Chain A
Amino acid sequence: MSARGLTLQVARDVAHARAATMGYELVEPGDPRQQIVAACVASCVKAWSYQDVLQRVSVTLPGSGGAVDALSLLPEVGPALSLIARVWGDGRTQVYYSPAAWNDALELATTEAHEEGHVEQIAKAARAPLGTLRWVAGYLGSPELRVGGAEGPSYAQGMAVQVVLGGISPADAAARARRALESYALDDEGRVLADAVVSLAQRSLEPGGGPYGGTARGVLRELAARGVEVPEPWR
């Protein structure tokens, strides 16, 4: 059950508006770059097939600076990814929306909150010397950093949209997030950290918890401004 007023068109409008506000490039399904990105991601994550990634996985790629240098160091796929970022982009962070997200209103709103989490993480990292390089290197090289500094917080943002707009219970949203995080090649420490971050979000979403800050709140506010029924504390 989704919130009243949440249509696919509204969710897409919000995605474009948020991309303009936050300064990232929104790449819709069908863009030729997406096939290359999907092939690269599929070759990095053995659990996912190319078709899985192409249809179901949305991806955020840093657009400039040291992060692109770090991407280029990836074995096999690095040159292609850095080429996309350097030549085929305009220096902004790129968010590739999968068809699965782009064609379902709730999934799109959830994915916006998640991927925008990465956009914010990259922007914050860029404020430090070699920050984006270190962020990308950490993401690729350390399961703990991948979870603690990137995917965990992003899934926590998506959980908020699922619960607030989708009527999903906090426990179910947490279970989905934990399952999804398992695909990020976690080690024991990464798994503990993933569980901690998801549990914090779950507790916050339970009755009496109250809203939390971050990209989910921005997405929900933008949706509310376009007539979607969003509970008051999250507006």
Chain B
Amino acid sequence: MILPAPGVGVTFYSGAPAANPEVLALCDFACIHAPAGRQVPALARDARAAGCSRLWLAVPGNYLVGLGHRSGVHALEAEGRRLARAALEIGAEVLEVNGEGRSDGAASRSDWSPEDPTETKELGTFAAAVLGAARDELRGHALLSWTSHDLPGFGLPWGAILGRVDLHSPQHCPAQKGRTVGQRELQARVRWSRLRWEPLVERGIVHADFQPWEARWSPYFQAHGHAPGALVWGLSCAPVVRLWACPGSWDAAVALEALRAARKLRSAVGYDFATLHESGKPVDDVGYHYGAVKRWQAQAGLVVDGIVGPLTMKSLST
């Protein structure tokens, strides 16, 4: 199994990473979210010039469904190879396909949200074509990832998709307009997501490594609508984590505070261990992991409850 080096990343959507130097300075890697076109090399050059050497290329992938309908699997294979070459051209360590459906989870013929088993099967053919070709073209020089919503869209052909990628970055997205999501609610969302994967894992459709807290899980969190403590927890719950999306869907004050605190925490105590981590550390009361937040709290002489409250945030900001 080959995985990316641990790190915290930020997705830059509709904007140049280099235009956000303060954010870039807090990232281990920058994820450029853009169609694989001529602007990508320029964005990559600028990010590198600004000091960020590790890049991901994330391409919006809904158009691939339309391409499959119009032109068939050979066109998708060609497109998969083209996407891979775009990632290799900029030296990206990961090529990610963003195959999400509508944000309300409703089915549509023009994206990755199937209406029925027939469409699921068809999307499986499309995914196999584009991801298989991309993987062949990458030849191990870059990894392949998939991202989409964490809860709806479970009618997706997950076997065809996750059988061909190295990483899965589910978008754990509880934030809604008008209220702030706390850590326990974000945790509940991620735990629920794990429950949703279990039947697919039991049936052998998806490898267990793609479940939350396992090796191929790379959680993806909203950098808005959360309490900073919730994001600090999120950014410390896995080796490779990411926030979206700067500058559009982005609460700068919360995101920067969380990024600074999470970097300090991760540099001191790392990130959450999986249940059976070779360290032999005990699992926590959730049963899935031994939390980095708790290790930080223990080290800082705080009450060890795993919640990034005001005192823990203060300890991470000094």
Contacts and interface: CB of A to CB of B under 8 A. Distances in A.
Interface of A: 124-125, 127-129, 131, 134-135, 138, 144, 148-149, 152-153, 156, 189, 192-193, 196-197, 200-201, 203-204, 208-214, 217, 233
Contact of B189 (A125, A135, A189, A196): A196
B199 A210 contact: yes
Contacts of A217: 198-199
A196 to B, nearest CB: 5
Nearest to A209: B154
A197 B187 CA distance: 10
18 contacts: A124-B285, A124-B287, A128-B282, A129-B282, A134-B285, A144-B184, A148-B188, A189-B184, A192-B182, A192-B185, A200-B188, A200-B192, A204-B192, A204-B196, A208-B105, A209-B154, A213-B196, A217-B198
A149 B46 CA distance: 46
Contacts, number: 82
A188 to B, nearest CB: 11
Given A193-B188, A196-B188, A210 B196 contact: yes
B35 interface: no
Contacts of B194: 213
Contacts of A129: 282
B155 interface: yes
B199 A212 contact: yes
A76 to B, nearest CB: 27
Contacts of B152: 203, 208-209
A187 to B, nearest CB: 12
Given A124-B285, A148-B184, A196-B189, A208 B155 contact: yes
Task: State which size class the interface on B falls in.
Answer: 20 to 34
Does more than half of chain A's interface fall in helix, strand or loop, or is it mixed? Answer: helix
B154 to A, nearest CB: 4
A233 B199 contact: yes
Nearest to A210: B154
Contacts of A148: 184-185, 187-188
Nearest to B180: A192
Contacts of A153: 191
Which of B184, B194, B287 has the most chain A CB atoms inside 10 A of its CB?
Answer: B184
Contacts of B3: none
Interface in B110-155: 151-152, 154-155
B19 interface: no
A138 B285 CA distance: 11
Interface of B: 105, 107, 151-152, 154-155, 174, 179, 182, 184-185, 187-189, 191-192, 194-199, 202, 282-287
A214 B195 contact: yes
A233 B154 CA distance: 12
A134 B303 CA distance: 13
A114 B256 CA distance: 41
Contact of B287 (A127, A189, A192, A214): A127
A123 B46 CA distance: 52
Contacts of A134: 285
Nearest to B202: A213
Contacts of A131: 285
A169 B194 CA distance: 24
Contact of B285 (A125, A201, A203): A125
Nearest to B182: A189
Contacts of B151: 200, 203-204
Q: Please provide the 8 A-B residue pairs with the shortest distance between their CB atoms, ordered closest to farther.
A: A213-B198, A124-B287, A210-B154, A212-B195, A200-B192, A213-B195, A211-B199, A196-B185
Contacts of B184: 144, 148, 189, 193
Contact of B174 (A196, A201, A211): A196
Contacts of B196: 204, 210, 212-213
Contacts of B189: 196, 200
A217 B187 CA distance: 22
A197 B283 contact: no
Given A204-B151, A212-B199, 12 more contacts: A124-B285, A127-B287, A144-B184, A149-B286, A156-B192, A192-B182, A203-B151, A208-B105, A210-B155, A212-B196, A214-B198, A233-B199
A209 B195 CA distance: 12
Nearest to B106: A208
A222 to B, nearest CB: 15
Contacts of A124: 283, 285-287
A193 B179 CA distance: 13
Q: Interface centre among A135, A193, A204, A213, by most B CB within 10 Å?
A: A213
A224 to B, nearest CB: 14
A35 to B, nearest CB: 32
Nearest to A233: B199
A124 B286 CA distance: 7
A129 B290 CA distance: 12
Contacts of A192: 179, 182, 185
Scoring B107, B154, B194, B195 by chain A CB atoms within 10 A of each residue's CB, the highest score goes to B195
